[in-house]
């Protein structure tokens, strides 16, 4: 399964249905910094868009692969969708929260041109803030890379 093809199709569908979102995670890092390997698509959305996005993903073969996960110490929730073809699979994580900062990140996403149309990417500041909330080892590396790129 081709991550690029899946990503471009999902983005085109979000645009077609006028859904507000911000790409976060490894793909957003590739837009802002050096590409790094990622095997998933991470999208931050407005909570009211969840049902529409879930239906779009289901229409193209994704299924909810787990119960929604509420993150500790935040108002962020993640719904995980997965598509399986043979032994290959792809994960799409849909994140949403009612805290004003999450809504601002979606609202202020940068519009980047791509070969398949405009893509809404979280700003560097937004990505740094999200990664600080989680604080994994990979997040800390990504934060340093983004901060060094700003200087």
pLDDT at residue number 128: 92
User: Helix or strand or coil: residue 122?
Assistant: coil
User: Residue 76 corresponds to which tokens in the numbers above?
Assistant: 């962020």
CATH number at residue 68: 3.30.460.40
Q: How many domains does the chain have?
A: 1
Q: Residue for token digits 């050096």?
A: 34
Residue 103 in this model has a pLDDT that exceeds 90: yes
Residue 7 in this model has a pLDDT that exceeds 60: yes
Model pLDDT for residues 33-45, shown as the tens digit of each residue:
777 777 899 999 9
For residue 141, the enclosing domain spans: 3-150
In this structure, what DSSP letter does residue 61 have? T
Q: How many CB atoms lie within 10 A of CB 122?
A: 26
Model pLDDT for residues 49-66, shown as the tens digit of each residue:
999 999 999 999 999 998
> What mean pLDDT is reported for the chain?
91
């Amino acid at each position: 399964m081709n991550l690029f093809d899946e990503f471009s199709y999902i983005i085109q569908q979000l645009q077609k249905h006028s859904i507000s979102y911000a790409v976060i995670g490894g793909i957003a890092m590739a837009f802002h910094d050096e590409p790094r390997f990622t095997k998933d698509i991470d999208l931050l959305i407005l909570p009211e868009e969840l049902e529409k996005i879930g239906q779009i993903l289901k229409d193209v073969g994704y299924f909810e692969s787990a119960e929604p996960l509420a993150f500790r110490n935040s108002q962020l929730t993640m719904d995980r969708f997965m598509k399986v073809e043979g032994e290959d699979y792809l994960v799409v994580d849909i994140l949403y929260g009612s805290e004003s900062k999450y809504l601002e990140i979606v609202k202020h996403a940068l519009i980047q041109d791509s070969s398949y149309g405009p893509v809404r990417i979280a700003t560097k500041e937004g990505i740094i803030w999200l990664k600080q909330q989680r604080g994994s080892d990979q997040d800390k590396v990504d934060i340093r890379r983004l901060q060094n790129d700003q200087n």
